[in-house]
């Protein structure tokens, strides 16, 4: 299987499942992320993308801590229809280094686009949202977790200007996976979320059957500095209504 075959597998992922339930882990290096952000803000790419002038590094805002950080979460995800999009539930484990007694932040939406709001925003334990460190805000945004399940539809498939190679097969979270590696063919002319401008390599582990990403990592000098990966994953389970409207943490089978 060549790179184009793997890309087509990723694009077709939403056609290969009805529901996903997964446990995820994110790990980041705030010092490297901050340095790359400063480079981007001072770059021509940033000027062209925003229509402004490069920002001086001293004006850059860095929500990440100056070192290693991370979080874990559980996600329930289901495609509804092209008109209604998806249903999701995100249960974020509040990190003990922030809230020593722990807790769970809950957000969910059942996909309805009319009638009373059905969105869930709840928390057990921890502190108030406004007390969270800024880096934890992103962890509560469903974009940063669900893009693994529909990389094309959610993240816009930011793979242009990459030289891709298939580096064999492996296993991840009990699943057969294809390792896809990309290196720059040219510098990004925009910020390629959820990847990073200025990285020198990224790594995908792609589920061989379903096409979802089991790992997405941005790397610099051979080391991960931004990586989201699946620790456990299940497909095509029946998800009852309470999954998308309960304000309490759910049991994890």
Other CB atoms within 10 Å distance of the CB of residue 72: 16
User: DSSP letter at 66?
Assistant: S
Beta-bridge partners for 220: 223
Which positions ≥6 away from 153 have C-beta within 8 Å? 14
Tokens 């922030």 correspond to what residue?
98
**Distance from C-alpha of 143 to C-alpha of 216, rounded to nearest angstrom:** 14
Domain boundaries, the chain: 3-244
Q: For the full predicted model, state whether its pTM sits above 0.85.
A: yes
- Per-position pLDDT tens, the chain of length 253: 898 899 999 999 999 999 999 999 999 999 999 888 888 888 777 777 676 665 555 566 788 899 999 999 999 999 875 555 688 999 999 999 999 999 999 999 887 766 666 789 999 999 888 899 999 988 998 888 899 999 887 766 666 556 889 999 999 999 999 999 988 755 665 666 677 777 789 999 999 999 999 999 999 999 999 999 999 999 999 999 899 999 999 999 8
Give the CATH number of domain 3-244; options: 2.60.40, 2.170.140, 3.40.50, 2.50.20. 2.50.20
């Amino acid at each position: 299987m060549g790179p184009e075959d793997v890309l087509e597998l990723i694009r077709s992922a939403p056609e290969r499942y009805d529901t996903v339930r997964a446990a995820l882990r994110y790990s980041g290096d705030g010092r490297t992320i901050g340095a790359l952000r400063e480079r981007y803000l001072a770059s021509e790419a940033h000027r062209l993308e925003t229509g402004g002038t490069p920002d001086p590094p001293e004006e850059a805002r860095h929500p990440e801590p100056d070192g290693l950080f991370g979080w874990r979460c559980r996600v329930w995800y289901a495609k509804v229809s092209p008109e209604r999009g998806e249903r999701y539930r995100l249960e974020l484990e509040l990190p003990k280094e922030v809230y020593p007694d722990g807790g769970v932040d809950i957000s969910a939406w059942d996909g309805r686009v009319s009638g009373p709001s059905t969105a869930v925003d709840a928390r057990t334990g921890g502190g108030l949202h406004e007390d969270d460190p800024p880096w934890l805000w992103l962890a509560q945004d469903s974009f940063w977790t669900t893009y693994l399940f529909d990389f094309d539809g959610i993240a816009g498939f930011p793979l242009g200007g990459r030289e891709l190679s298939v580096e064999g097969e492996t296993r991840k979270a009990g699943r057969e996976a294809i390792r896809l590696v990309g290196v720059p063919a040219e510098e990004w002319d925009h910020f390629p979320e959820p990847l990073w401008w200025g990285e020198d390599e990224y790594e995908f582990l792609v589920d061989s059957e379903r096409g979802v990403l089991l790992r997405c990592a941005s790397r610099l000098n051979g080391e991960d500095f931004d990586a989201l990966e699946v620790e456990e994953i299940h497909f095509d389970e029946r998800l009852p209504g309470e999954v998308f409207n309960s304000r309490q943490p759910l049991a994890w089978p």
